[in-house]
Amino acid sequence: MTEWINLREERDFGEKFNATFQFARQNFKNLSLSLLFLGAPLMIVGNLLVAYMQADMQIGTFDFAQGLPDGFWALYLILIPVYLIAYSWLMTVTYAYITEYLNGNREITPSQVFSRASQKIVKIILSGIIMSIMIGFGSLLLLIPGIYLVVALTFVQVIILVEDVPVFKSISRSISLIKGKWWSTFGLVIVMSIVVGLMQLIFTIPTYISLFVRGLHQNLFAFDAGTILTNSIATIGISLLYPLLFIAIAFQYFNMVERHENKGLKQQIDLAGVQVETAPKNEGEY
């Protein structure tokens, strides 16, 4: 029987890193199904939309020295919300799965994840918009506050899913939890981002081969069956591997909650007390 992972536990940097991959291995089948059926489709649509619009504007043959191509800004006005929704949904699906796991669900299905994620997606998207405004404003004032906020707001989405609190309360709680561990959180995010990025290269190999072949025929940004296939493969890789970063962030969140509030320890004490009270008493033989 696979050992159940205690999420609410203090962990050092190496333990969080190892726990991330342990969690992914233990939940490979169920988590992958949720990510493939729920998270990947929107990501694929977003990437294919980019490829289609690039081909439609003939970016590969356009002379940017003469100015931006027609529809360039319209492209960005479309892509920003598409990517925001797709990225937010992928994150929400991952954290919804983790919340199901935290609540003791041993056989997590995509339908259960969808039910939980669909209830929170509006909050997640709203939090992303508010965070972007805060970070952008902080960066305009001075670069350092913007960088600080990028890390300080790392836990917002996982707090929304796990603790079921409003957006602004999740923002203030994330900033509060990060105190004293900003650098370790920053380091964890950077290391996991590098690891995930390197792992994703495997799925992008078909894309680079396709680009090379099309480049030889001077048709770099063509939108054809090859483009659809290679982009879909690369996007599936992103959808399966990028959530490793979210899982690592979740372990850091649980680590910080445990350091500040000892919730996991209190739960174990309460559970031990219940087991003692319900244990059968040996009255002896008379």
- Beta carbons of 146 and 136 less than 8 angstroms apart: yes
pLDDT at position 178 is: 94
pLDDT at 189 over 90: yes
| 161-173 tens-digit pLDDT | 999 999 999 999 9
Closest C-alpha to 157, from 185, 127, 179: 127
Per-residue pLDDT averaged across 8-13, rounded? 93
- Residue 191, CA distances (Å) to 152, 178, 263 in order: 17, 18, 27
pLDDT at 2 over 80: no
Query: Positive or negative CA dihedral for 161, 163, 167, 170?
Result: negative
Per-residue pLDDT averaged across 119-126, rounded? 96
| 202-260 tens-digit pLDDT | 998 888 887 777 666 666 666 677 778 888 898 899 999 999 999 999 999 999 999 98
Per-residue pLDDT averaged across 18-42, rounded? 94
Residue 83: pLDDT band by 50, 70, 90 thresholds?
A: confident
Per-residue pLDDT averaged across 265-272, rounded? 56
Residues with Cβ < 8 Å from 42, sequence gap 6 or more? 85, 86, 89, 90
pLDDT at 65 over 70: no
**Cα 107 vs. chain centroid, distance in angstroms?**
21
pLDDT at 277 over 90: no
- Phi/psi for 154 (5° steps) reads -60, -35
Q: Name the percent of the chain lying above pLDDT 90.
A: 57
pLDDT at 179 over 70: yes
d(CA 93, CA 179): 27
What average pLDDT is seen over the chain? 85
Please state the domain extents for the chain: 13-274
Per-residue pLDDT averaged across 181-197, rounded? 95
Q: Which of 33-47, 58-72, 176-190 is least confident?
A: 58-72
| 133-154 tens-digit pLDDT | 999 988 887 778 889 999 999 9
pLDDT at position 243 is: 95
